[in-house]
Structure 1
């Protein structure tokens, strides 16, 4: 019975990527739970095989039906870096959590560490989320350009938003507007790379807006199941539902803009959603995920408490080829930076 329930739950999780939560939100919760449902079904396969029961076919079939979801979650690439890396374009996506403005890491060197780490990655294009700047000093635009070897930059109008730093000239750029009340940003820049123009989108989509008490509840080791805890669970559920719907709307607005791009296109950013989501499916359709191209393992990019999965992405269209993907596991932010190297496909 339990095996059937969890196999059915796994099948429901596959629907999350295809059903807009603005129309029907419950499957989005199953989508968020996908890694756990997958693990439980794998355990049931092993259990029934040990028991020598044909029942192992039920969870096994449920896993195989979602093969695409499985490859979005975990990769076993052994091909390594492509030979074309010498002529490739390096691109970094990094949520820097406002350069630790509120001293979360309790290390005064964190802003410097973030800048130095980003510089050491030697990328020609750098996409920051939760970016802030100051008029002078370490985080001034001029200093960041100098430190990051980037002659060009653009940023969103928000005080804390997104920014693109580039070694390549920016010939056109813009910001994608959202409805009032959206705490997120999306910008794009057209970069002149040799004789070609590459459009780069940098996104930071709606967060779950968890507050301190939510994280305290998530990190609890014992649960009483009393009325207070039920109210806390309801609060978390409401915040998640609201965020699912907001991100879906934002993804559709951005996708409509992307579909009008006249140039080879790359999408970078913090989607705040897992690969088993409507948001990811909307933005990644007809695009390739650099993690799937060259990644290995699970590549968790969020270092916080929830969700501790891959929510940062670099996507590219058919005009470019991914030669490398790497997650850099450094604890300077609540996100890990990701690096890809891409090259144009010559026709």
Structure 2
């Protein structure tokens, strides 16, 4: 039995080490570690138990491998599991800015029912945001697009939304800078907006990075399908995830260049479709930005509630010149993503 436990423990530790590579290896070079990176919190926990088991049996040689892997994971732990630090001391008269990022999935419930105008008005009002960053919103081609309703409910005068795309930034005194989307559907990408705020001019990057499309394929894995069909679906999922991971890496490189060249403090937020142990996250996390949840959040900070629950894929990345006073997850009424609300100061 001890031999079996030893083999299983070493196997899990090896898989954990493989997943830890995802932070450093560009997906264009080798993308499979990105799949394992999705499971790293659980894998690290099992590796820790294996290490402690080896210590309890005084098996120092067996404990060496999991110890090395655990030590290698230390720089990542603060991003996987947040423990809030104390907030900076602020005067009550100091100006603050509140932002919300929300993937709203077109304000449509899982049964296909559109949200009524009262529900949308109520949610936008509850956000209490000075700036609202939304993904998967409706375009003007929809008769019921909620655009005027969001403007009115949030007290916004303007929005930046490239025609035909599903990313929109709402606020006041905004100046569109640029937008980039993955052809041909212009569904995934980012919009860049300069905003005059109480904290001075800010450059806002609202991102909805390349989707994995795994949720749409999970139906092919049901017990109602043949083994052959399930194997084909699983292979398709892997290929699709590899393509999406490579695209997100390219998007991350372009966003990092925008951050580095910005003349104003930067706030990057939205649905990254990737976890803190990914190459995308770590490439975006430049010396100029830090992850607001890692700094002020508590726990795992799960934002995705879909077929692969337990993932943190929605973020606020904040310029080092700004102070993060508070960040919280908000309830989700329609989407499989939980919105995030953040309060900032200078």
Give SS of 1:176's match. strand
Q: Report deviation, 1:252.
A: 1.4
Which among 49, 53, 62 is matched to residue 69 of structure 2? 62
Moved more, 185-194 or 271-280: 185-194
Give SS of 1:208's match. coil
CA distance in 2, matches of 1:23, 1:12: 15
C-alpha spacing 1:272/1:93, structure 2 compared with 1 (3 Å): same
Contact 1:90 1:342 in 2 (8 A): yes
C-alpha spacing 1:230/1:178, structure 2 compared with 1 (3 Å): closer
Could you tell me which residue of structure 1 aligns to residue 107 of structure 2?
Answer: 99
C-alpha spacing 1:225/1:275, structure 2 compared with 1 (3 Å): farther
Give SS of 2:212's match. coil
C-alpha spacing 1:182/1:45, structure 2 compared with 1 (3 Å): farther
Could you tell me which residue of structure 2 aligns to residue 77 of structure 1?
Answer: 84
Moved more, 259-268 or 188-197: 188-197
Residues 121-160 of structure 1: pairs in structure 2 closer than 5 A: 121-134=127-140, 139-159=145-165
Which among 175, 183, 189 is matched to residue 185 of structure 1? 189
Could you tell me which residue of structure 2 aligns to residue 164 of structure 1?
Answer: 169
Could you tell me which residue of structure 1 aligns to residue 28 of structure 2?
Answer: 22
Contact 2:158 2:170 in 1 (8 A): yes
CA distance in 2, matches of 1:123, 1:42: 41
Q: Report deviation, 1:110.
A: 6.5
CA distance in 1, matches of 2:141, 2:38: 40
Contact 2:125 2:154 in 1 (8 A): yes
Give SS of 2:273's match. coil
* 2:277 is aligned with 1:270: no
Could you tell me which residue of structure 2 aligns to residue 339 of structure 1?
Answer: 341
Q: Report deviation, 1:282.
A: 1.5
| Matched residues, number | 337
Q: Please list every run of 5 or more consecutive structure 1 residues that lacks an aligned counterpart in the other structure.
A: none
- Aligned-residue RMSD, C-alpha: 2.8
What TM-score do you get using the length of structure 1 for normalisation?
0.87
C-alpha spacing 1:246/1:111, structure 2 compared with 1 (3 Å): farther
Q: Please list every run of 5 or more consecutive structure 2 residues that lacks an aligned counterpart in the other structure.
A: 1-6
Which among 98, 117, 128 is matched to residue 90 of structure 1? 98
Q: Report deviation, 1:195.
A: 7.3
Could you tell me which residue of structure 1 aligns to residue 8 of structure 2?
Answer: 2
CA distance in 2, matches of 1:207, 1:337: 17
Q: Report deviation, 1:266.
A: 0.4
Could you tell me which residue of structure 2 aligns to residue 258 of structure 1?
Answer: 259
Moved more, 263-272 or 85-94: 85-94
Q: Report deviation, 1:324.
A: 0.6
C-alpha spacing 1:224/1:88, structure 2 compared with 1 (3 Å): same
CA distance in 1, matches of 2:141, 2:230: 45
Q: Report deviation, 1:87.
A: 2.5
Which portions of structure 1, spanning 4 or more consecutive aligned residues, are displaced by more than 6 angstroms?
Answer: 135-138, 222-225
What TM-score do you get using the length of structure 2 for normalisation?
0.87
Give SS of 2:167's match. strand
CA distance in 2, matches of 1:332, 1:81: 35
Give SS of 1:16's match. helix
Q: Report deviation, 1:32.
A: 2.3
C-alpha spacing 1:235/1:336, structure 2 compared with 1 (3 Å): same
Q: Report deviation, 1:57.
A: 5.1
Contact 1:323 1:342 in 2 (8 A): yes
